[in-house]
A and B are shown apart, each in its own frame.
Chain A
Amino acid sequence: MTVDAMRRRRPEALAALLESYGREIQGVAYLILRDRAAAEDVVVETLLTAFERAGDLRDERALRQWVLRIATNRALGIRRSGARVVRLEIVPDPEAPGDLGASSADRLTLLDGVDRLPAQMRAAVVLRYYADLSVEDVASALGKSPNTIKAQLQTALDRLRISLAETGGAVPEVRHA
């Protein structure tokens, strides 16, 4: 995948974008939106936007972060426009093999906790822990300072820990003044 091919609007560049980032964009969008159809829309819109606006990308090495940034902003935009009522459901799955230490209840509680986070904080969590972006890249993607992102992630973890504790899934970390 070369940015140059995108800038030249080479047809194969679009397919390469899909191959390289389609699945990851779907994951980011789905975890923010919890809507499969909307996440697929985000994938298509993101890839076409990236393809058509590749000239805007200053640092070719940042293509992945740039694409994820477009996807995140798209998803947050949809989330806002449809935010009046968003009904979410998580159906319990059998525990994944090797998912040691995480019961089905814990898993539901964690995912439920992520969904309860404010949308922007949830986006930060998704980019950090699903897409594995560095704090600096998450900050860049969301247009915030790294310190703000660090604070958001810490707050998110604290809230998730409390959620787990409330359901008996784990003991909350005790902090002493």
Chain B
Amino acid sequence: MHDARLEDQLRRQLRSEVDSLPFSITAEDLDRTLAVRRRNRMVRRGWLAAAAAAVVLVVGLGAILGLRGKDQPSVSVSPSPSGTPSASPAAVGPAWLAITGPADWQPDPGYEMQVNGKAWVVDKNNGGGVTTVDLANPSRVTISGVGGCESILAFTAQPGRMYVIRFAANGSPAVEDWTANGVDSGPGINGPVTPKCPAAAADTIDTPRPPSEATPQSVRPTEPLGAAHDAVFVRLVGPTDRPDQLTVSIVTLDAAAFETKPSQRIIARIPGSAIPAGLRLNSRDALYAQAGWLALDVADTTKLDRSILIVDLRAPDHATWLVAGNLSVASWGPGSILAVPENSQIHLYNPDGQTVDSVQIPDGVNIADPDARPAWLAAGTGFLTWKGDIEREIGRLDLGGAFTAVTEPPATFQASGLERRWGPDGSELGGGCPTEGGAPGCSISTSLNGGPPIEWYAEGSGKGTIQDSAWDAAGKGVWLLLERGTGRGPKTHVVLHADAPGDWLEIAGMPLTRPSDSSLKFQGLQDAAATLDGRHILIGVASAEVQAAVSGDGARATIDPGAWFAGWADDQGPYPVR
């Protein structure tokens, strides 16, 4: 057949193939998606503005406070950076009380603050603010929920001091002593009004503490909550979308774990109320940061507006941060900063201080494949990136947005072991299948910069159908997960490893449960250890529970059902291991 005839035939058949496809996308679909994108950006800007406002509040209005101090010499203001109350109980003067909450805070039905028989109200129409209360003596301040008049916080305010009552996203309040920092006169709290609630019994007492941003005593520990061979698992208690609780546990995967059941300890219990009202748990996707943060995938009921709920596992009942973004494309870096790509930017969320930064991705630079997570450089100084979709130019993108081409892929940080983008020489691991339904023809191959593929495994060999594959820790060998069995008969799932194409060694075989519409996946890889029994592989369906933990010598550990893998508890070392 001559080229012209073949070309003509090709044109007609490609078009015929496409002509049979229905086309259901509407302009309304586009408008809606665009609106969601813009709303997410607005939320981010809101956070940035809030962060900037907080700086102004502390720095600028501290000066105002200083002037007031000159006018009111009788007010004793502690110079102590700790903010420990030091005013004399006999001092007479105003106490400054501020109530604040997360960005866009609209508490509903709201809260009532009572002091000496007067009340101030915050609700969805009257958000947080500041008020002053003249106190002759130390006085009780109580916060009650308007709905049921339940007392949720009480503390003793000293005359002349400044307090910030801060509500976390999950509705938990805490009181901070801001006397040493200053509080803006700001918008007033709605009041005073006649109390709706009876004088609250002080059954929930909180001691004013210094603001967390300002004092050395409150510096949050950053050491990991477990060891390198510990896996962090998350489990749900109660309904899947609005659970009563999420438990976070550490499962120790050492050699002993593969002889007996691995030891397990719960490190945090996240109350279901940590998920803000109106949002639902969107998927079983959870990412653990080694400084002790957990990121969860949440969304509104339409599932169009995706957000990420960051929980401090050291204070899971009240320290949460809700940010806009899609967790399925996010990744924690070695500094426990969460990178969330969106269009031409990567947003960097640092929950320790709740700061947000953004990196502009230069034109033509790819940060990750769609629906894949960006790979942080091992040093946390940027990301592994590339230019070009056909012939790739691998490089680094630093946090200032500069792309630098490199000859070999730089070492990358590993939170789960699945961040292995290329081999050390830039080779890509991939595969494909023929088109005949059910034909055993899929294969796994490597190729260097779009060059000819080198086949590592072909289903035609009869060893099984491919479920997943991944580079090993050195990037020189390949892990492979196969399914064996035909028709409706029993299936066996086999883990194999090869140091060279075709040189497969079976590690372990086991029957696992695979839904008809999903493949089994490697969920976590920890295989840099020198000994086989120090290498661990977690297997399950993506965004679902771990079904098996296999060690490099073929042993299996039993993992309690219902646990999703969120990451390794401590540093795994960079990929590739040298």
Contact = CB atoms under 8 A, between A and B. Distances in A.
Interface of A: 11, 14-15, 18, 22-23, 26-27, 30-31, 34, 36, 39-40, 43-45, 47-49, 51-53, 56, 72-74, 76-78, 80-91, 93, 96, 99, 101-102, 106-108, 110-112, 114-116, 118-120, 123, 125-126, 129-130, 132, 142-144, 154, 157, 160-161, 164, 170-173
B435 A89 contact: yes
A85 B83 CA distance: 59
A48 B27 CA distance: 11
Given A22-B25, A93-B20, A101-B9, A81 B466 contact: no
B33 A48 contact: yes
B446 to A, nearest CB: 12
A119 B468 CA distance: 19
B18 A130 contact: yes
B13 interface: yes
Nearest to A154: B3
A129 B435 contact: no
Nearest to A80: B369
29 contacts: A26-B21, A31-B18, A44-B29, A45-B370, A72-B389, A77-B369, A78-B370, A78-B371, A84-B444, A84-B469, A87-B433, A88-B433, A89-B437, A93-B20, A102-B12, A107-B16, A110-B10, A111-B435, A112-B434, A112-B435, A112-B436, A116-B432, A120-B390, A143-B389, A157-B3, A157-B10, A161-B6, A164-B6, A173-B2
A91 B10 CA distance: 18
Given A14-B34, A102-B9, A142 B366 contact: no
Interface residues of B, number: 61
Nearest to A89: B437
Contact of A26 (B18, B37, B468): B18
A105 B5 CA distance: 17
Interface of B: 1-3, 5-7, 9-18, 20-21, 23-27, 29-31, 33-34, 37, 343-344, 363, 366, 368-372, 388-391, 428, 430-437, 442, 444, 447, 450, 453, 466-469, 519
A111 to B, nearest CB: 6
Given A81-B370, A96-B16, A118-B450, A161 B23 contact: no
A130 B15 contact: yes
Given A108-B435, A143-B389, 11 more contacts: A22-B25, A26-B23, A27-B21, A78-B371, A81-B368, A87-B442, A111-B13, A111-B14, A120-B450, A129-B14, A170-B6
A47 B344 CA distance: 15
Given A73-B389, A78-B371, A125 B10 contact: yes
B25 A85 contact: no
B25 A43 contact: yes
Main secondary structure of the interface of A (DSSP, over half): helix
A23 B391 CA distance: 28
A172 B18 CA distance: 27
Contacts of B447: 118
Contacts of B390: 76, 120, 123, 142-144
Contact of B1 (A47, A74, A170): A170
A145 B127 CA distance: 60
A14 B21 contact: no
Nearest to A51: B34
A161 B10 CA distance: 11
Contact of B12 (A40, A84, A99): A99
B305 to A, nearest CB: 16
B27 A18 contact: yes
Contact of A31 (B9, B14, B27, B432): B14
A130 B14 contact: yes
Nearest to B432: A86
B1 A172 contact: yes
A118 B391 CA distance: 13
A15 B26 CA distance: 8
Contacts of A119: 432
Quick one: which of B9, B442, B466 has the most chain A CB within 10 A? B9
A148 to B, nearest CB: 9
A16 B274 CA distance: 43
B18 A77 contact: no
A101 B2 CA distance: 13
Nearest to A144: B390
- Pairs of residues from A and B, 8 with the lowest C-beta to C-beta distance, nearest first: A81-B369, A27-B18, A15-B27, A89-B437, A83-B430, A130-B14, A112-B435, A170-B1
B14 A143 contact: no
Given A31-B14, A85-B468, A44 B33 contact: yes
Contacts of B37: 48
Given A30-B21, A87-B433, A142 B389 contact: yes
Contacts of A49: 343
Given A23-B23, A81-B372, A173 B1 contact: yes
A132 B11 CA distance: 8
Nearest to A85: B466
Given A83-B431, A172-B1, A77 B366 contact: yes
Contact of B30 (A14, A27, A101): A14
Contacts of B432: 83, 86, 115-116, 119
Quick one: which of B20, B450, B468 has the most chain A CB within 10 A? B450
B388 A90 contact: no
A113 B432 CA distance: 13
Nearest to A112: B435
Nearest to A27: B18
Contact of B7 (A76, A99, A126, A157): A157
